[in-house]
Amino acid sequence: MKISKILAEKEITVSCELFPPKEGSALEQSREIAAATAKLRPDFISVTYGAAGSTAGYTAELAEESERHGVPALAHLTCVSSDEDSLNGYLSLLRKYGIENLLALRGDMPQGREPKRVFRYASDLIAAIKARGDFCVGGACYPECHPESASVAADIEALRIKAGSGCDFFTTQMFFDNEIMYSFLSKLRKAGINTPVIAGIMPITSVKQIERTVKLSGTVLPRRFLEMANRFCGDAAAMKQAGIAFATEQIIDLIANGVNNIHIYTMNRPDIAGEIMGNISEIRK
Ligand code: FAD
């Protein structure tokens, strides 16, 4: 089923995310994780695309695994690893697997590999996918502004172009301060961008994850979050519980304020996804 239809028909949606294993690794364990995640009945499962497209086949296969368990899949794809031929091949594979949804991203320049330069921005890739068939295509957005943008205004203008290229929905970069999200949404609406926005929530359940998260996303960590992390970082079980509670609270506040579409960056952890979904089961029903 198309995600645009799910977003239009359901008041509250919750989705999860998987990432494929490294190139050359077996897919079996990832299939089990996909099956366990699908058992939680999220509204859809997204599957990321390895940098430089090294695991494109795995992305498609894990997306198919999700569909096989009755959960619509969202397969990611990047510009830096795509040209006309690879795009046509990937779309054929997705069609064969019954996958109707793609998240089109620019990707980041792969280290030690030459990026492909056919599609410059995600909006170019979205337009190319839309021209090739009846896919539902989403794109990324950044409540704290994309780090390469010259200004917030320039970033919003780029999102206006992305929406105009046929983007059916946006998924946000992770954020830990909901006020930043509310301010971002207000800027989008003021700019006349009415595309649905799915809020990306990352449960931080270990100290290692905090360092990685900040390095990769450059996101602001609010005082509340830092105090939680400082207090519980010495105890793995307590840190996990506190991280799940923090993400749950963030989600409840978002839904209470009308941000009804939530994407949990579950990072191959169906146990964590399951606890969060259990915490909001009455809210979501
Ligand atoms: P774009 O939308 O192309 O934007 C990149 C920069 O160019 C921004 O500064 C933007 O403001 C500017 N820009 C865009 N369009 C224009 C225009 N027309 N004119 C002028 N400037 C413009 N990476 C992966 O490798 N694999 C994944 O699976 C993956 N999944 C992701 C999922 C989400 C929800 C998010 C938020 C990110 C994901 N990423 C993934 C990371 C992403 O590839 C990087 O953040 C990348 O730096 C930007 O991708 P984008 O699609 O937002 O780029």
- Kindly list the catalytic residues: 17
Q: Is the CB of 153 under 6 A from ligand 1?
A: no
Q: How far is the CA of 159 from the centre of ligand 1 (A)?
A: 10
Q: Is the CB of 105 under 6 A from ligand 1?
A: yes
Q: How far is the CA of 219 from the centre of ligand 1 (A)?
A: 15
**Domain ranges within the chain, ordered by starting residue:** 3-284
CATH class of domain segment(s) 3-284: alpha beta
- Which pLDDT tens digits describe the chain residue by residue (285 residues)? 999 999 999 999 999 999 999 888 889 999 999 999 999 999 999 999 987 677 889 999 999 999 999 999 999 999 999 999 999 999 999 999 999 999 999 998 767 778 888 999 999 999 999 999 999 999 999 999 999 999 999 999 999 999 999 999 999 999 999 999 999 999 999 999 999 999 999 999 998 888 888 888 888 899 999 999 999 999 999 999 999 999 999 999 999 999 999 999 999 999 999 999 999 999 998
Angstrom distance (rounded) from CA 188 to CA 185: 5
Q: Is the CB of 121 under 6 A from ligand 1?
A: yes
Residue whose CA lies nearest to ligand 1 atom number 49? 106
- pTM of the prediction? 0.97
Angstrom distance (rounded) from CA 20 to CA 34: 10
Give first-to-last CA distance, the chain, whole Å. Answer: 19
Q: Is the CB of 200 under 6 A from ligand 1?
A: yes
Angstrom distance (rounded) from CA 195 to CA 162: 10
Residue whose CA lies nearest to ligand 1 atom number 2? 122
Residue whose CA lies nearest to ligand 1 atom number 19? 158
**Best mutation site among 3, 105, 157, 165 for ligand 1, i.e. most ligand atoms within 8 A of its Cβ?**
105
Residue whose CA lies nearest to ligand 1 atom number 52? 140
- Phi and psi (nearest 5°) for 230? -60, -40
- Residue 184 has, within 13 A of its CA and on its CB side, a CA count of 26
pLDDT at 210: 86
Q: Is the CB of 82 under 6 A from ligand 1?
A: no
> Which residues are CB-neighbours of 50 under 8 A, at least 6 positions away?
19, 20, 22, 23, 56, 58, 59
Residue whose CA lies nearest to ligand 1 atom number 18? 158
